[in-house]
Amino acid sequence: MIPATKTYDGLSITFQVTEDCNLRCKYCYEVDKKPGNLPFEYAQKFVDIILTDEDPINAKGTDSEWILKQGLIIDFIGGDALMVPELLNEILEYYRYKSVSMSHKWAYRWRASISTNGTLFENPKVRDFMLKYKDNLSVGVSVDGCPEIHDKNRIHKNGRGTMKDIQKWWDWYLEWHGADTAVTKATCNKDTIPYLAKSIKFLHEEMRLKHININFVFEDMRLAEADLKELDAEMEKSIAYILEHRNDLHVSMFDKGFGIGEPLKDPDRGWCGSGSMPCLSINGKIYPCFRFSPNTMHNRKLDFYVGDVWNGLDHKERFEIVRQQTRAKISPQKCLECNIESSCAWCIGGAFAEKGEFYRQTNICEVKKLQSKWSRRYWEEYDKLEGTKSFDDAGKVIS
C-alpha cells in the first residue's frame, strides 16, 4: 500500500457558508438542512477574531498548544460550500488582505480546504474560484463507490443519483488537482456492505484514484449477524485486490495506523481534533467544531457555542471541556478492555448532537473488529510479498 497523502498541520477554522445543499444524501449527519447562507460581515468578524486573539482555542499551557505554532487551515463546509463560490472568494480575499496588513504569522502560512459532492463543477464561477486559489486550495470529492451504491445514497432532491453528474467533470477535476494526489472521501452504511470490494475496485480503476479514504458512519446501522458475515467476506475480497495494487493504491480502512487496533495506550487522549477547530455557523455563533453546528443537532435547542461574532470567544473554556472528553472519561468498560481499542474512532460532536451530552458511541464495534482483523491480515500478506516486517515478535505494529 502506498503512503497516504500528506496533511497540512495547523489550526483548523471552519466557515459554514450555507445550511443548504443541492443533494439529499440518505446518511447525512446534517439533519436539518434549510436555505440560508453565511452573511459576509459575520465572516469578516470571525477572521478578525482569529487573527487578533493570541489563543483562540484556549490551548496555551495544554497539550494542544502546538497547534497555535503551525499554519492555518481555512475549511469551508455547507451543505455544499461550492454552492456559493463568490462568498468563498470574498472570505479568502478578506483574509489575505487582513493577515498581510497585520504582518500576521499566518499571512503566508495558510491553506483552504473544501469537501464537495462533485456535482457543481459545471458552474464556471466554481471553476474560476478553484483555478484562482489552486496553489493554496484542497478540494476533495465525495464518491462512495460503484454506481449501484453511490446512486442509492448520494441523490438529488428528486431522488436521482449523482454519479453521472460527477463523471461529467471528472477529467477536469483530476487535471486541476493532479491524479496522483486526488483523494475521495467514501462513506459507508449498511447498504454499502455488498458493494465494498467492488467499490474499491471502481474507485481505483474507473475513477482513477490512488488514495481512497473510506469509513462507516458512526450512527447505529442496526447490523444483523448476516450483515457482519457478508462484511467479513467483502473485506477479505478487498484486501486481496489492494494487495494486487499495493504499488499504486492506498485505502485508509486498511492502513496500519487507522486499521489495526491494539489495547488501550493513552487513556488521556480523545480521537479527533474536536475542541480545537472553531467553526462559524450562519447564525453568527462559533462552535468547538462543525459537528456542533445547529443544523447537525437533532434538537436545535442544543447550543454548545464558544462565542459569537459580536462578543468574541467569550466561552472559550468550552474548548477545553470538549478536549477533556478522553477515552478514560467517556468510554464504557468494554472499550477500555478491548484489544483493538487504539484504532476505534468515535465522534464526540455527533454523539452530543444526538443526546445533548458527552459520551462515546459504540455503534461500530463489530465493524471495527473486522476492520482490524483484515488490516492485520493485509500487512501480514504484504510482508510476505515484499520481504518487510510490519510487526515485532510480540505482534505489535511497527510504525
Reported as a single tens digit per residue, the pLDDT across 69-127 is 999 999 999 999 999 999 999 999 999 999 999 999 999 999 999 999 999 999 999 99
Q: How confident is the model at residue 264 (pLDDT cuts 50, 70, 90)?
A: confident
Q: What is the pLDDT of residue 346?
A: 87
Average pLDDT of the chain is 95
Q: What is the pLDDT of residue 330?
A: 92
Strands, sheet with 211-216, edge to edge from the N-terminal-most edge strand: 250-251, 211-216, 183-188, 137-141, 110-116, 71-77, 10-16, 279-280, 285-287, 307-308
Half-sphere exposure of 114 (CA within 13 A, CB side): 29
Q: Identify whether the C-beta of residue 306 lies closer than 8 Å to the C-beta of residue 319.
A: yes
CA 292, CA 274: separation in Å to the nearest integer? 9
CA 309, CA 387: separation in Å to the nearest integer? 57
Q: What is the mean pLDDT of residues 58-73?
A: 92
CA 59, CA 313: separation in Å to the nearest integer? 13
Name the residue ranges covered by the structural domains of the chain. Answer: 1-140+272-327, 142-261+364-399
CA angle 364, 367, 251 (to 5 degrees): 115
| 399 has a pLDDT exceeding 80 | no
Q: How many H helices and E strands in the chain?
A: 14, 10
Q: What is the pLDDT of residue 157?
A: 94
Q: Which CATH architecture has domain 142-261+364-399?
A: Alpha-Beta Barrel (3.20)
The segment with the largest mean pLDDT, out of 4-8, 87-91, 215-219, is: 87-91
Q: Which CATH architecture has domain 1-140+272-327?
A: Alpha-Beta Barrel (3.20)
Torsion of CA 16, 19, 25, 27, to 10 degrees: 70
Angle, helices 124-132/170-177, rounded to nearest 10 degrees = 10
Q: pLDDT over 70 for what percent of the chain?
A: 100
Q: What is the pLDDT of residue 391?
A: 93
Q: Cell digits for 152?
A: 442509492
Q: What is the pLDDT of residue 332?
A: 93
In this structure, what are the phi and psi dihedrals at residue 303, rounded to the nearest 5 degrees? -145, 75
Q: Do 1-140+272-327 and 142-261+364-399 agree at the fold level? A: yes
Q: What is the mean pLDDT of residues 280-290?
A: 97
Q: Identify whether the C-beta of residue 378 lies closer than 8 Å to the C-beta of residue 239.
A: yes
Q: Is 266 left (phi over 0), alpha (psi -120 to 50) or beta?
A: beta
Angle, helices 40-52/85-101, rounded to nearest 10 degrees = 30
Q: Smallest Cα–Cα separation from 285: which of 259, 313, 323?
A: 313
Sequence-distant (≥ 6) Cβ neighbours of residue 191 within 8 angstroms: 149, 152, 153
Q: What is the pLDDT of residue 343?
A: 86
Q: What is the mean pLDDT of residues 160-176?
A: 98
Q: What is the pLDDT of residue 342?
A: 86
Q: What is the pLDDT of residue 76?
A: 98
Q: Identify whether the C-beta of residue 113 lies closer than 8 Å to the C-beta of residue 138.
A: yes
Q: What is the mean pLDDT of residues 157-161?
A: 96
